[in-house]
């Protein structure tokens, strides 16, 4: 069974856009799904989504592409990060949140942005193989970040936040 979030109604779009534009001024890293951005803004491609967010002064953009991985864009330089395809996802609930959590945990552990995306893809791919958003530790134990690394290395902090 594949669950999908309800779509935004036409009446909700103007309000969602207003809030989005107010909040984006405070964003250094945007992690968005292409399907949401396409629905909200009419973006024709993930590359366009990255360009639009960079124009809004977001330095680092990650566009989640469901089974196709994600698109990472830093200061306009775009890199597609593949993922292992899951033929029959059981439940997509929580996949985006799992991606975000794995991305941020790895970023705080000092990993580069490409590795953060790989780990986000990996955990998102595991979540969709199970019913519900929460999966057991036995499915994530091998993904724990190396706690010996410094949290958010100075060079990464400077590259991301200036």
Could you identify the residue written with the tokens 């890199």?
79
92 and 48 part of one domain: no
Do both 74 and 92 map to the same domain? Answer: no
Q: Are both 56 and 93 inside the same structural domain?
A: no
- 67 and 15 belong to one structural domain: yes
Residue 154: the pLDDT is 52
Number of domains in the chain: 2
pLDDT value of residue 130: 75
Residue 64 in tokens: 């989640």
Residues 18 and 39 in one domain: yes
H or E, element range at 29 = strand 29-33
Q: Is residue 30 included in any domain, yes or no?
A: yes
Q: Which two tokens stand for residue 148?
A: 């010996």
The rounded distance, in Å, linking the Cα atoms of 145 and 20 is 32
pLDDT profile of the chain (162 residues), mean per 10: 50 88 94 95 98 97 94 96 77 83 91 94 81 72 55 53 52
Question: In this structure, is residue 78 part of a structural domain?
Answer: yes
User: Domain range for residue 40?
Assistant: 7-82
d(C-alpha 92, C-alpha 132), whole Å: 8
- Known catalytic membership, residue 97: yes
Q: Which of 28, 84, 97, 146 is catalytic?
A: 97
In a domain, 2, yes or no: no
Helices 95-108, 113-127: crossing angle, 10 deg rounding: 150
Same domain, 162 and 93: yes
Residue 131 maps to a domain: yes
Which pLDDT does position 49 carry in this prediction? 98
Return the pLDDT at 22.
Answer: 93
Single residue among 27, 51, 82 that ends a domain in this structure: 82
Do 92 and 67 share a structural domain?
no
Decide: pTM greater than 0.85: no
Question: Which residues, 6 or more positions from 24, have their beta carbon under 8 angstroms from its beta carbon?
Answer: 30, 53, 56, 57, 58
């Amino acid at each position: 069974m594949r669950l999908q979030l309800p779509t935004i109604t036409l009446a909700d779009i103007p309000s969602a856009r207003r809030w989005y534009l107010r909040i984006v001024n405070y964003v250094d890293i945007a992690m968005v799904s292409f399907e949401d951005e396409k629905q909200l803004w009419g973006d024709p491609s993930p590359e366009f989504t990255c360009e639009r967010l960079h124009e809004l002064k977001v330095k680092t953009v990650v566009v989640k592409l469901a089974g196709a991985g994600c698109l990472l864009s830093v200061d306009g330089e775009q890199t597609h990060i593949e993922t292992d395809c899951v033929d029959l996802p059981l439940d997509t609930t929580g996949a985006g949140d799992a991606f975000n959590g794995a991305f941020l945990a790895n970023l705080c552990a000092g990993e580069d942005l490409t590795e953060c995306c790989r780990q986000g893809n990996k955990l998102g791919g595991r979540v969709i193989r199970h019913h519900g958003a929460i999966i057991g530790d036995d499915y994530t134990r091998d993904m724990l970040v190396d706690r010996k690394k410094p949290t958010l290395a100075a060079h990464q902090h400077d590259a991301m936040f200036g």
